[in-house]
Amino acid sequence: SCVWLTIFALFRGLAFILLVLHPVCGDVSYSMPEEMKRGSVIGNIAKDLGLDLGRLSARKARIDTEDNSVKYCGVNLNTGELIVQERIDREGLCAKKTSCVLKQELVLENPLELHRVSIRVQDINDNSPQFKEESLKFEIHESADKGARFLLDEAHDGDIGENAVQGYSLQQNDHFKLNVNTKAGGRKYGELVLDKELDREDKKEIMLLLTAFDGGSPQRSGTVVIHVTVLDANDNVPVFRESPDCCLMEQSPSPALISLLITQMLTAQELYAALTTMTHT
Ligand SMILES: [Ca+2]
Ligand SMILES: [Ca+2]
Ligand SMILES: [Ca+2]
Ligand SMILES: [Ca+2]
C-alpha cells in the first residue's frame, strides 16, 4: 500500500511532496483484551505489513506515538512481533467509551517509512460494582403506606457493556421488596418498595443487605447496608395500669403537663410515662 500511495501522489503535486516528507504507508490494526502481561504478543507486525524481517534491525524499526504519549507496545526486532510494553488499562484509557482504540506508529528508516498501528482494546471484567456510600440511611414513618418507594443510590462499575452493573438483589426480609429500573442509556438503579407496613413499637431499626452485580464472567458483585430507622407515629392510645377514673379524679393534670401537651407532640410512650409519674406522686 506504500507503493500505491506514492503512485497516487504522483498525480497530486503537493500531496506528493508531503508524502515524501512523511511517507505514511499501510495501516495495520489489531484487537486485544486489556491488562495483558508485559511481553505478550499482540501480532506479527512485520509479517502483516510484508516487511523484510532481516532488515528490521538495520532500519531501526521502532514504535512511536504521534504526541509523545506512552509507548504501550514495542517491536521484537528478531521476530517482527508487536508486544505489550506498558500496562493497557481500558478504564484508564477510555473510561465509559464503548470503543477504545489505541494509536501507535511503526517507524522504519532507510527509506523512512511510517505505518499507523491501531489497537482495539477489549474490555475484561476487572472491576466490581461499588456503592459510593458505606451505608444507605433511610428514616421512614411507621405510618408510611404499603407501596411507598424509596430511591436507592446506584452502584458504579468501571467496566462497560455486560461487564457493568446488570442488576441488584435485596436480602430477604419482612417489609421491603426491590424494584429495579433502567435509565435512558441502560444504567440500572433500584427502589426500595414498602411491601408490609412498619410498626415502630415492634421494630425500630431494620438492616438490609443490597447487592449489585455485573454480567461478566466470572461475575463480580458489591454490597451496601441499607439502614432503615422507623419513625414514630402517634398510633397508640395511652393505656393505664389502674382504672383511669380513680387517678384522674383524684389528681387532675398539672399545668406543666398541660402546657407540655400543648407545645409538644408527645409520643404515646412519653404521654404514658408522664401520666404514670403524675399518678405516683
Ligand atoms: Ca482495567
Ligand atoms: Ca475492564
Ligand atoms: Ca465489572
Ligand atoms: Ca407509634
- Boundaries of every domain in the chain: 28-122, 135-231
Ligand 3 centre and the CA of 153: distance in Å?
17
pLDDT recorded at residue 247: 46
> Could you say which of 3.30.450.20, 2.60.40.60, 3.90.550.10, 1.10.3470.10 is the CATH number of the domain covering 28-122?
2.60.40.60
Ligand 4 centre and the CA of 95: distance in Å?
49
DSSP letter at 60? T
Assess whether the region 28-122 and the region 135-231 belong to the same CATH fold.
yes
Ligand 1 centre and the CA of 170: distance in Å?
28
Ligand 2 centre and the CA of 157: distance in Å?
9
CATH number of 135-231: 2.60.40.60
231 burial via Cβ count (<10 Å: 0-12, 13-18, 19+):
middle
Mean pLDDT of 140-166: 96
Mean pLDDT of 180-203: 94
Q: Is 183's pLDDT higher than 50?
A: yes
Q: Which residues lie at CB < 5 A from ion ligand 3?
A: 125, 127, 157, 159, 163, 214
pLDDT recorded at residue 275: 60
Mean pLDDT of 254-276: 61
3-state SS, 143-185, equals CCCCCCEEECCCCECCCCHHHCEEEEEECCCCCEEEEEEECCC
Q: Tell me the pLDDT band of 271, cut-offs 50, 70 and 90.
A: low
Q: Tell me the pLDDT band of 234, cut-offs 50, 70 and 90.
A: confident
Q: For the chain, give the mean pLDDT.
A: 86
Ligand with minimal distance to 233 CA: 4
Ligand 4 centre and the CA of 183: distance in Å?
37
Q: Of the given ranges (76-85, 172-181, 206-215, 244-253), which has the lowest mean pLDDT?
A: 244-253
Ligand with minimal distance to 87 CA: 1
Q: Which of the two residues, 69 and 248, has the higher pLDDT score? A: 69
Q: Please report where in the chains the cell 421512614 appears, as a residue.
A: 140
CA dihedral of residues 191, 196, 201, 203 (deg, nearest 10):
-50
The Cα–Cα gap between 211 and 131 comes to 9
Q: Which residues contact 69 (CB under 8 A, 6 or more apart)?
A: none
pLDDT recorded at residue 204: 96
Ligand with minimal distance to 164 CA: 3
Q: Which residues lie at CB < 5 A from ion ligand 1?
A: 89, 91, 126
Q: Tell me the pLDDT band of 240, cut-offs 50, 70 and 90.
A: confident
Ligand 2 centre and the CA of 37: distance in Å?
15
Ligand with minimal distance to 271 CA: 4
